Amino acid sequence: MMPQETSQSPVSETVTVAVLGATGLVGSHLIRILEERNFPVRTLKPLASERSVGGHVTFKGESIPVELACPEAFEGVDIVLASAGGSVSETLVPEAVKRGCVVIDNTSCFRMKPDVPLVVAGVNDDDVERHQGIIANPNCSTAQLMSVLKALHEAAGLKRVVVSTYQSVSGAGKAGMDELRNTTRQSVNDETVAEPKAFQRPIAFNLIPHIDVFLENDPVYGKDLDGYTKEEAKLICETRKILHLPDLKMTATAVRVPVMIGHSESVTVDLERALSPQKAERLLAKTPDVVVGDGVMDYHTPAETAGTDPVYVSRIRRDSSNMGQGLNLWVVSDNLRIGAALNAVRIAEVLVQRERLKPLPLEQLIVEETTPSQSEKPSEALLESEPTACATPNTKRHVIQPTQDVLQHVEDVEISAIETHDERVAEEEKASGESCAMPTPHKN
C-alpha cells in the first residue's frame, strides 16, 4: 500500500518561478515536483550561491543555468520558492517582496511572525488569503502531522498531544546525508571515523536527541519551552498556529536517527471524546493525503516510503494508560516532499487557483473569527495557565494594521528588534550545524 502520488497541478495560468537554493536537497526536489505536477511554469529561475554559478539544473529536459541569488534576480518573478537557509531568507526574501513577488519560504525565519500565514496545503488553505508577500512552510516534522491531527481534532477534540520524532539525516541537508554515508563507510571499514560536523555527535550506528539549538528564555518560543530544542519548539508552536489551537497542550522530543530520508513520529493523543482505534482508522483512511496501514502488521518504515507523497499512519491503537480517550499512532513521511518541497508547490497551486499572487490591500484584510468552537474550547486548567509566547492569540474579526513585521522587513531589514533576534538565532543555528543555518548570505 505505497501509492505514488499522481495528482497534477490543477492550475492553468503560467507564472515565472524562482527557486532560491535550487542546488540544495529541498531546491532540487522543488524543481522535480514542479515538473511532476506540471505546475504552469512560464520561466524557471534557479538561484543559489556563488559556488553554484556556472552550474545547471534540468527542468522538463532543458538545461537551465544557475544564477546568483541577489536582489535583482527577483525582478519579473511571480513566485519565489525559498530554501537556502534562514539567514539567506532573512536578507533576500524582503528584497523579493519589495519587487512584487510572493515568497513561499521553507526556512524557520518567518514562521512565527503574526502577519505571515503558516500553511499546510489541504489543512489551512484559507490562511493564504491574508498573505502580505510571504507564506511560510512549516518544519518537516510539523507538516506531516497536520492532516492527521486536524482529522482527529474535528472528530474527537484534541486535548493533549505527545510526539517523539525519529528524523532522518536529510533534514540536515546534503551535508547531513554525506556525513552519514561517509562515517558509516569509515566505521564498517575500520577506518578513522571523521569528527561530526553536520551533527553534534557521531550519527553512524547512533542516534542524537538534539536537533537545532537548546532554548533558554527564547522571545519567540517562550519561557515554557526552556530546555527544549528549537526543533521541538517549532513542532509545538507551529502546530498550534496551523491548527488555530493556541492553547493546545503539546510536548515533543526530537531525535536524529541514522536514516537517509523519511521522518517517523510516535504520536500519543488525549481526546475530549472517546474514539476507538477502528473508528480512527476509518476516519484517517478517508483523510486526503493520508494512507492508513491495513491491519497490525502493515506498518510503514521511512526507507519504504521515501520518494512518495502521502503521510503514512499505522499502529493505531488504544493508549492503555488512557482507555477510551487516548490513541497511539505511528506516522511516517518523506521529509523532503510533504515536509518541504511538495507542500511549497501545493501552496503555490493554491495561490494561483485563488488568484492571490498579489496580496490583498491591507485595509481589506479581515481576519476571520477564530474563537474556538465548543469542541476546541480549552479546559479550565488551560484557561488558568499563562499563555505561552508562541501561542497564536484568538482573534475576533478585526482589520490587521499595516504596521507589522513584514512591512518593517521590507522597509529596512536592519532595524527590527525581531530581526536582531533572528540573526542571533541564525548564528546559533550555524554553530549547531542544523540545516536551517546556512552560510552567511552573499553580500550584494
- Which among 23-31, 206-214, 217-225, 379-387 is the span making contact with ligand NAP, rule CB under 6 A? 23-31
Interface pick for ligand NAP out of 11, 34, 85, 93 (rule CB under 6 A): 85
C-alpha span between 200 and 286 (Å, rounded): 40
CB of 136 or CB of 406, closer to ligand NAP: 136
Q: Nearest Cα to 95, choosing from 324, 410, 432? A: 410
Q: What is the DSSP string of 127-177?
A: GGGG-SSEEEPPPHHHHHHHHHHHHHHHHH-EEEEEEEEEE-GGGGHHHHH
The residue annotated as part of the active site, out of 140, 237, 390, 436, is 140
DSSP code of residue 312: E
* CB of 27 or CB of 222, closer to ligand NAP: 27
Least CB distance to ligand NAP at residue 443 (A): 9
- State which of residues 23, 305, 314, 432 lies at the interface with ligand NAP (CB under 6 A): 23
Nearest to 20 by CA among 337, 408, 438: 438
Stretch that binds ligand NAP, among 15-23, 243-251, 292-300, 301-309 (CB under 6 A): 15-23
Instruction: Please choose, out of 25-33, 210-218, 370-378, 395-403, the segment that lies near ligand NAP by the rule CB under 6 A.
Output: 25-33
DSSP state of 315: E
Residue 91 or residue 132: which is nearer to ligand NAP going by CB? 91
Catalytic annotation present for 210: no
- Which of residues 75 and 363 has its CB atom nearest to ligand NAP in the complex? 75
Is there a catalytic annotation at residue 263?
yes
Residue 272 · residue 158 · CB < 8 Å: yes
Of these, 17, 33, 57, 69, which contacts ligand NAP (CB under 6 A)?
69
Determine contact, residues 315/330, Cβ cutoff 8 Å.
yes
Cα separation, 251 vs 160, in Å, equals 8
The total of other beta-carbon atoms located within 10 Å of residue 101's CB is: 25
Using CB under 6 A as the binding rule, whether residue 264 contacts ligand NAP is answered as no
Residue 433 binds ligand NAP, judged by CB under 6 A: no
Residue closer to ligand NAP, measured from CB, 154 or 178: 178
DSSP reduced 3-state for 37: coil
Short-list 185, 203, 319, CA closest to 257: 203
By CB atoms closer than 10 A (0-12, 13-18, 19+), residue 88 is: buried
Q: Give the residue, chosen from 21, 133, 293, 310, that forms a contact with ligand NAP under the rule CB under 6 A.
A: 21
Residue 335 within binding range of ligand NAP, rule CB under 6 A:
yes
Q: Does 147 bind ligand NAP (CB under 6 A)?
A: no
Residue (102 or 316) nearer to ligand NAP, CB: 102
Q: Are 97 and 413 in contact (CB under 8 A)?
A: no
DSSP-H helix ranges across 173-212: 173-188
- Quick one: which of 169, 233, 340, 345 contacts ligand NAP (CB under 6 A)? 340
Residues 180, 260 contacting (CB under 8 angstroms): yes
For residues 112 and 129, give the distance between their C-alpha atoms in angstroms, rounded to a whole number.
17
The residue written with cell numbers 550584494 in the block is: 444
CB of 309 to ligand NAP, least distance (A): 14
Helix axes 173-188, 25-36, angle to 10 degrees: 110
Amino acid at 283: L
C-beta of 352: minimal distance to ligand NAP in Å? 22
Q: Is 165 in the site for ligand NAP (CB under 6 A)?
A: no
CB-based closest residue to ligand NAP: 24
The one segment of 113-121, 334-342, 369-377, 379-387 that binds ligand NAP by CB under 6 A: 334-342
User: How many angstroms separate the CA atoms of 429 and 87, rounded?
Assistant: 10
| Type and span of the H or E element at 27 | helix 25-36
Minimum distance from residue 62 beta carbon to ligand NAP (Å): 19
Q: Does 178 interact with ligand NAP (rule: CB under 6 A)?
A: no
The reply on whether position 347 binds ligand NAP by CB under 6 A is: no
Using CB under 6 A, which of the segments 34-42, 155-163, 302-310, 335-343 binds ligand NAP? 335-343
Residues in the chain, overall count: 444
Catalytic residue among 210, 263, 300, 409: 263
9 part of the interface to ligand NAP, by CB under 6 A: no
> Could you say which of 132, 142, 170, 328 contacts ligand NAP (CB under 6 A)?
170
Q: Are 254 and 234 in contact (CB under 8 A)?
A: no
315 binds ligand NAP (CB under 6 A): no
d(CA 205, CA 257): 9
**Distances 111 to 170, 244, 259, 283 between C-alpha atoms, Å:** 21, 14, 27, 29
CB nearer ligand NAP, residue 174 or residue 317: 174
* Residues with active-site annotation: 140, 263
Contact positions vs ligand NAP (CB under 6 A): 21-27, 48-49, 51-52, 69, 83-86, 88, 106-107, 140, 170-171, 173-175, 335-336, 339-340, 435-436, 438-439, 441-442
